[in-house]
Chain A
Amino acid sequence: MTDLRDHAEAIAEQFSDHLEPSPDVDEIEAKLDNLVTDYRVPVEEARRSVTNSYLDEAGLERDELGRGGSERVDVAEIDDDEQWVDLRVTVVDLWEPRSDAVAQVGLLGDESGTIKFTAFETSDLPLLEEGQAYELSNVVTDEYEGRYSVKLNRTTSITPIDADIEVGDNAVTVEGALVDVQSGSGLIKRCPEEDCTRVLQNGRCSEHGKVEGEFDLRIKAVLDDGTEVHEVIFDREATEDLTGVTLEEAKQEAMDALDTTVVADGMAEDVLGRYYRVTGPTLGRYVLVNELEEPGPVDVEQALINARSI
């Protein structure tokens, strides 16, 4: 009766903001079960009937609950698990399911970004097509190791729509020890031509030739967690944030030394071998750092618990 349980949870969630105390999931499930099992009412009709009884209790009109009751969200807003939500998305990618229990797995996207989805065989849903836009209502959010996904379930309604959804660039979070500062870091010069921000090599832009460059700061670095490496770029703001060195200070430092490489060397000394967690959109193989965090002291108790569970 897990599907009735899903419906019951969906109904409870719909009313959680409207009824005090919120209706009890077991009670809803019992009502649904009574209709479906004892009175042979189709599930959808049973759900409608039970929902109506709570609407009366709450003194609400059906449309005050919103479409299907769950909240329409952008995928990037999803930051909690076990929430019932509606999405308006394009199927960006379909992957090979690794388990027989999974009917479909892949990536959904809207303007705000992308999110993984899973549909299970037991839910008996129509299959999604890659590149098609849909309105999905009643999907459940899930979380694994800080990454969110959505699960389609038996109560999910899938409506293909004729829309061209431009899928946004998702921010990713990567963390690890900073193990390398790559060349092209520190105090650099960029081409001043309009819409050209190329970094100059020996005073030359690969597009515009010899130009009077404009100073900028950046760090191209590698974060490594022992399993994977991620290349990251700190732009001027992020570099100033990371090192505490401003562009003006860096220029002065280079002028005093008659050498721009001292800037990168000094920065490398400050950041190499430290742990960082960064978040930002990906550009090619780089993560552009928008947010920077240094994980504080390690939680040894937690580390011991984790270790003993391995």
Chain B
Amino acid sequence: MSQSGSTPTREVARRVFATEFNDAGYTFKESEDERAPVYSLLPTGESANRVFFVGTLTEKDDVGEDNEYWRGRIVDPTGTFFVYAGQYQPEAANTLRELEPPAYVAVVGKPRTYETDDGSINVSVRPESITRVDAVVRDRWVAETAERTLERVARFDDEGNEYARMADEQYDRDPETYKAAALAALEDLDEAGEGSDGSDPESETSLEA
């Protein structure tokens, strides 16, 4: 009902771990239109115009020359996301300026790729929002992202999975690597949970919304 009743044109925020996201260097458009959205091709066979992730902000630097341009390193169980926020992302830039690492943050943003001098492709995130969250949100994201990743890997060889075929062509990577990373992330969560109650190490009073 809700699916058929509404056809929102808003792009879904994909759930993807850093290790897979950073491998998603190939981008494409679905139409010739200049303003058509740009998608990153996830190596597990999915298109991503937007991502949502939760991790630990471990470092932030103002790397801008004339204007503020903040770079944040946000770590998940598999690797590091790089986010860049400048004058066109004022809220996200504000948040990065004010946050003291380490802190759990949730990020909604768009994948961006750029070619480095040595010809390799770097993948980063241009944030739409960055908010501080607690460990409960972070753990939920890890579990959810593991599930979504495993689902993509399971669908990889399905007939008619056009993005998987595209990934086959563009990347020389075995989707099973991402499956292993997703399972390891979940097992990690399981072990961490056995030692503690999983609450935020810093704030006993978790953020209540």
Contacts and interface: CB of A to CB of B under 8 A. Distances in A.
Given A180-B108, A226-B52, A228-B3, 20 more contacts: A224-B12, A224-B13, A226-B12, A226-B13, A226-B15, A226-B145, A229-B13, A231-B10, A271-B209, A273-B107, A273-B129, A275-B140, A285-B5, A296-B136, A300-B186, A303-B186, A304-B186, A306-B147, A307-B150, A310-B147
Interface of A: 114, 170, 172, 174, 177, 179-180, 222, 224-231, 242-244, 265, 268-275, 282, 284-287, 294-298, 300-301, 303-304, 306-308, 310
Contacts of B139: 297-298, 300
A287 B131 CA distance: 24
Given A172-B2, A226-B52, A273-B137, A303 B147 contact: yes
Contacts of B52: 177, 179, 224, 226, 273
A60 to B, nearest CB: 40
A271 B144 CA distance: 19
B129 A268 contact: yes
A228 to B, nearest CB: 7
Contacts of B8: 229-231, 285
B5 A272 contact: no
A170 to B, nearest CB: 7
A300 to B, nearest CB: 5
Contacts of B10: 180, 222, 229, 231
Contacts of B150: 307, 310
Contacts of B1: 114, 170, 172, 282
Contacts of A300: 139, 143, 186, 189-190, 193
Say whether chain A's binding surface is mostly helix, strand, loop, or mixed.
Answer: mixed
B2 to A, nearest CB: 5
B208 A269 contact: no
A230 B7 CA distance: 9
Contacts of A282: 1-2, 5-6
B20 to A, nearest CB: 13
15 contacts: A170-B1, A177-B52, A179-B52, A222-B10, A243-B209, A268-B129, A269-B131, A273-B106, A273-B131, A274-B209, A282-B2, A298-B144, A300-B189, A300-B193, A307-B182
Contacts of A303: 143, 146-147, 186, 189
A174 to B, nearest CB: 6
Interface string B70-110: 00000000000000000000010000000000000111100
A84 B143 CA distance: 37
A225 B14 CA distance: 8
Contacts of A270: 207, 209
B126 to A, nearest CB: 15
B133 interface: yes
Interface pairs A-B: 7 shortest CB-CB: A273-B106, A285-B6, A303-B143, A226-B15, A310-B150, A273-B131, A272-B131
B148 interface: yes
Contacts of B24: none
A179 B13 contact: yes
A232 to B, nearest CB: 10
A295 B137 CA distance: 9
B208 A297 contact: no
Interface string B144-157: 11111011001000
Nearest to A243: B209
Contacts of B182: 307
Nearest to A296: B136
A222 B91 CA distance: 18
Nearest to B130: A273
Contacts of B144: 225-226, 298
Nearest to A173: B2
B2 A179 contact: no
A284 B13 contact: no
Nearest to A242: B209
B187 interface: yes
